[in-house]
A and B are shown apart, each in its own frame.
Chain A
Amino acid sequence: MSWEIVIGLEVHAQLTTSSKIFSGSSTAYGANANTQASAIDLALPGVLPVLNKRVLDLAIMLGLAIDGEIASESIFSRKNYFYPDSPKGYQISQYDKPIISKGQLKFVNDGEEKIINITRAHLEEDAGKSLHGEFEHSTAIDLNRSGTPLLEIVSEPELRSAQDAVLYLKELHCLVRTLGICDGNMQEGSFRCDANVSVRKAEDPELGTRTEVKNLNSFRFVERAINYEAARQIEVIEEGGTIRQETRLYDPEKNETRTMRSKEDAHDYRYFPDPDLLPITITAEHIARIAKDLPETPWNKRLRYLKDYGVSSEDSEILANSPETSVYFEACMKKSTLSPKLVANWIIGELSALVNKSSLTISKSPIVPERLVSVLKRIEDKTISGKTAKHLLGLMWDSSSSADQIIADKGLDQVSDNELLEKVISQTLANFPSQVEEYKAGKLKILGFLVGHVMKQTKGKANPAMVKAIMEKNLRQSI
């Protein structure tokens, strides 16, 4: 009797606007409590909402990127419920006629392409923050976040494993960041996920009762919470119990979910069209305008990298998934005729290592694409070895000099590769047996001749000190 897990995900993505969805307050993170809460955000008597036009553009961008239907007429509705961080006693959201419906998101799990249908994406306002434990016996309310624009993206319950759920989320996370509609900062709460989880017997066509799991602030939590909840539900059913439709909170410390007390009574949200906001119309021209400048999706970019550059699928993922990295990579490719694999390796490897160590981001790296390209050119033309190039990059991080300048100054073009030198040296020694005999006989000055020959062979690039040392070692060994 095998069980199937059924998962649907609801993601709340905070949109990248300067001001809130219905008021002119700032959306900047980290301000002092209630300093970014205007009369409208505080729900003072008599205030009214006015829509921020940018949120429409951002929602349309997502709609286009997921091949969704963009509503030509869309309305806002009130979702009525009481909670101290919801100052109006209702949230302005969308119920009937959401702005986006029927989209799709593709992702790959272990080489297998999966397509998940997105039921809808709608606009709504965020609530404020409730701080428990700051004051004894009280909950403190900060309404700075109240009114921040959210796009709620709802998937069909088509995911069948926690792993798939995480991959779907990562793809969506990457997409919203690439489009620039959401910064995806999960620690700051800009990208939040709730999971609807149910289980059923593998052959059962009916869906089981689902629970909603909240407080999933990282991909890891999502995976663990889903697995825990599915296991919990299976256990309950196997022991003869039934699943109660409820909202549960994930506790990362205990790795378990528990009933949320505040959501115990069934909510009747009494949705109705918000009379303070008129219907939104979106014209074909508006959509075309957005489509013209729409960034390439990570999915399409990965495919393009595979096709046009021939990089490995693993590498294409790393390069394409980060908007900044892909910009960097393409800049390098545009400015040179280098091998894409070489460029990819060095961006993913050495450059990233340097960037990570510095706590900057790749777009702020002092080694701009031109400079990396100049280094890689010297590898390709064999002026320097890979090992030297690594060293060179490290030097270039802290210097504004060009690659060639540093190579010249530090003599980096000298061959210091032991293996290479050994080869040339033993070749030379083999070619000049009489000189070797002379050295062994005590004519030490003949070393200079032999070293000189190695220098000639390496076109003067060999590191003379190393040549001398290795030659001496070899000569001693052969005595």
Chain B
Amino acid sequence: MNLPNSVTKIIQGLEDGTFSSQELTEAYLNRIDNLDPEINSFITVCHERALLDAKNADKSRSNGSASKLTGVPYANKDIFCTKGVRTTSGSKMLDTFISPYDATIVERLGSQGMVMLGKTNMDEFAMGSSNETSFYGQVNNPWNTNCVPGGSSGGSAAAVSAGFTPLATGSDTGGSIRQPAAFCGISGLKPTYGRVSRYGMIAFASSLDQAGPMGRSVEDLAHLLSPMAGYDPKDSTSSMDKIEDYSGNLEDALKGKTIGLPKEYFSTSLDRQVEGVIEEAIKEFEKLGANVVEISLPTTSLSIPAYYVISSAECSSNLSRYDGVRYGHRCELPIDIEDLYKRTRSEGFGEEVKRRLLTGTYVLSSGYYDAYYRKAQQIRRLIKNDFTNAFTQVDAVISPTAPTTAFEAGTHLDNPVEMYLGDCFTVASNLAGLPALSIPAGFVGGMPVGLQLIGNYFQESKLLSLGHMFQKSTGWHQHFSRDDLKGAQ
């Protein structure tokens, strides 16, 4: 069958009876089986379970107990614990871990009757911006398989881009939803910190991590965000702030809206051509009636160092539980407890993870805590203040999502710092806890460019509507990475 190119069309088709969830699911599974070997976006494909869930979804539909999303397929980043299904977080450490429980978002999406196609590939423990650190091999960008898809949610981004799934969940700690979305020419949202439950999402950096939707269009994102969002009593950091009708609030004229352009963002590290695409996008927003003004976010240049200190520190602690005692990898024949810990962890973790664990341990250690960790938290306060200030004047902040388009695989592995610099536009919103959206805005050399919109706390509706109106007008999100998708209805 011809796969529909939007979630709205899928919902329509299921409701009309144009196709069943089983047919749809089978079509996606076949596509994955045939084409994913080239992309490697999935770690685990759940053929049996997906078809069973699809069958049940069809049954619900026929007896009138279906909800809007019943029978709609989606994929989960392998960072979300899924009961009875292998959950690896892209790491050898959890290669054998079959989760005994479901993450809250998995539970919520399951209760909607959505069909999980499988678990997508990712940078190990979400640490990376290129999906090259996964134990399960790198993911290839569907636009150019020599290039990276971005990371850490590279598998989810590539899977949506390649038409393997209409929707996918991702996680974002320093840009891990937005940057791969940009590199793969799809849309991705990092919600406000606390908007979506973190329970069951394998922790990387607890005060920065957020789960979010990935899909082709902002309209698709809104469909997935609604059931994901909302207070979870199992997550102490989840917010009781009211959820909005994300799908219902997308149509909202840009007239009267003000968008801020941080002057600090347009520096030398930004690729000139990418800058050009963004400038065109800004013109488009102005054409649609928005007022674009220059703003200043003075602490911008320190956001990456602060981010790396805080995220390494938190992850060094979060990953201490991987010790070979209760689950996961365990070294063979440990001679004593020290040997058990050291060999298990050295064997189970990859290089990037080890680097961050060491960095994190160092910045928290006695004598260095004030100079690094405490200092980074102070800078974090300044960054938050910068935004609070900006939002007194603007409705959203605009920027490129990444300074370049997707780079060639293997080119950034020698110098970790070079890789980190690619996060220059994304980390600030994690540090401040603000919602941020990435949407396709054009191409450079045939590769997608993403633009980022950052909103104020719990203003996902406003953010999504800005993105939606842009997409309605420009259609950049309707470019397909695969020729065979171009025929999609």
Contact between chains at B97 and A45 (CB < 8 Å): yes
Given A50-B236, A87-B326, A272-B373, answer yes or no on A45-B87 (Cβ-Cβ < 8 Å): yes
Q: Which parts of A32-57 form the interface with B (CB within 8 Å)?
A: 39, 42-51
Contact between chains at A276 and B364 (CB < 8 Å): no
Shortest distance from the beta carbon of B416 to any chain A beta carbon, whole Å: 22
Q: Which parts of A273-319 form the interface with B (CB within 8 Å)?
A: 275-278
Smallest Cβ-Cβ distance to A45: which chain B residue: B202
Contact between chains at A87 and B325 (CB < 8 Å): yes
Contact between chains at A51 and B321 (CB < 8 Å): no
Tell me, yes or no, whether B369 is within 8 Å of chain A by CB.
Answer: yes
Tell me, yes or no, whether A88 is within 8 Å of chain B by CB.
Answer: yes
Tell me, yes or no, whether B226 is within 8 Å of chain A by CB.
Answer: no
Tell me, yes or no, whether A80 is within 8 Å of chain B by CB.
Answer: yes
Interface centre among A42, A87, A270 (most CB of B within 10 A): A270
Contact between chains at B236 and A51 (CB < 8 Å): yes
Given A88-B320, A89-B317, A90-B317, answer yes or no on A45-B365 (Cβ-Cβ < 8 Å): no
Q: Which parts of B348-379 form the interface with A (CB within 8 Å)?
A: 361, 364-366, 369, 373
For A48, give its contact among B99, B198, B319, B320 (CB under 8 Å).
Answer: B198
For B199, give its contact among A48, A84, A89 (CB under 8 Å).
Answer: A48
Contact between chains at B321 and A276 (CB < 8 Å): no
Cα A399 to Cα B125 in complex, Å, equals 70
Contact between chains at A49 and B236 (CB < 8 Å): yes
Tell me, yes or no, whether B56 is within 8 Å of chain A by CB.
Answer: no
Cα A42 to Cα B365 in complex, Å, equals 26
B407-420 vs A, CB cutoff 8 Å, 1 = contact: the mask equals: 00000000000000
Smallest Cβ-Cβ distance to B340: which chain A residue: A84
Given A50-B236, A276-B206, answer yes or no on A84-B314 (Cβ-Cβ < 8 Å): no
Smallest Cβ-Cβ distance to A276: which chain B residue: B206
Shortest distance from the beta carbon of A28 to any chain B beta carbon, whole Å: 22
For A89, give its contact among B97, B101, B321, B364 (CB under 8 Å).
Answer: B321
For A270, give its contact among B199, B233, B341, B366 (CB under 8 Å).
Answer: B366
Please give the number of chain A residues whose Cβ is less than 8 angstroms from any Cβ of chain B in the complex: 28
Contact between chains at A275 and B325 (CB < 8 Å): no
For B100, give its contact among A43, A44, A51, A88 (CB under 8 Å).
Answer: A44
Cα A47 to Cα B235 in complex, Å, equals 9
Smallest Cβ-Cβ distance to B80: which chain A residue: A46
Shortest distance from the beta carbon of A44 to any chain B beta carbon, whole Å: 7
Contact between chains at A48 and B234 (CB < 8 Å): yes
Cα A340 to Cα B230 in complex, Å, equals 62
Within 8 Å CB of A80, what residues of B? 317, 320, 364
Within 8 Å CB of B326, what residues of A? 42-44, 87
Cα A139 to Cα B365 in complex, Å, equals 29
Tell me, yes or no, whether A381 is within 8 Å of chain B by CB.
Answer: no
Within 8 Å CB of B103, what residues of A? 46
Shortest distance from the beta carbon of A84 to any chain B beta carbon, whole Å: 6
Contact between chains at B361 and A270 (CB < 8 Å): yes
Tell me, yes or no, whether B19 is within 8 Å of chain A by CB.
Answer: no
Interface centre among A78, A84, A275 (most CB of B within 10 A): A275
Within 8 Å CB of B323, what residues of A? 82, 84, 89
Within 8 Å CB of A82, what residues of B? 320, 323, 341
Interface centre among B89, B364, B365, B369 (most CB of A within 10 A): B364
Contact between chains at A270 and B237 (CB < 8 Å): no
Within 8 Å CB of B198, what residues of A? 46, 48
Within 8 Å CB of B319, what residues of A? 89
Cα A16 to Cα B234 in complex, Å, equals 23
Q: 4 tightest CB-CB pairs across the interface, nearest first? A: A89-B320, A270-B364, A275-B207, A275-B206
What are 6 A-B interface contacts by the 8 Å CB criterion? A45-B87, A47-B200, A50-B235, A268-B366, A272-B364, A275-B237
B residues near A (Cβ < 8 Å) are 80-81, 87, 89, 94, 97, 99-101, 103, 198-203, 205-207, 233-237, 313-314, 317, 319-321, 323, 325-327, 337, 341, 361, 364-366, 369, 373
Given contacts A45-B94, A278-B236, 14 further A-B contacts (CB under 8 A): A45-B97, A45-B99, A46-B80, A46-B198, A46-B200, A47-B199, A48-B234, A48-B235, A50-B234, A82-B341, A84-B325, A84-B337, A268-B366, A270-B361
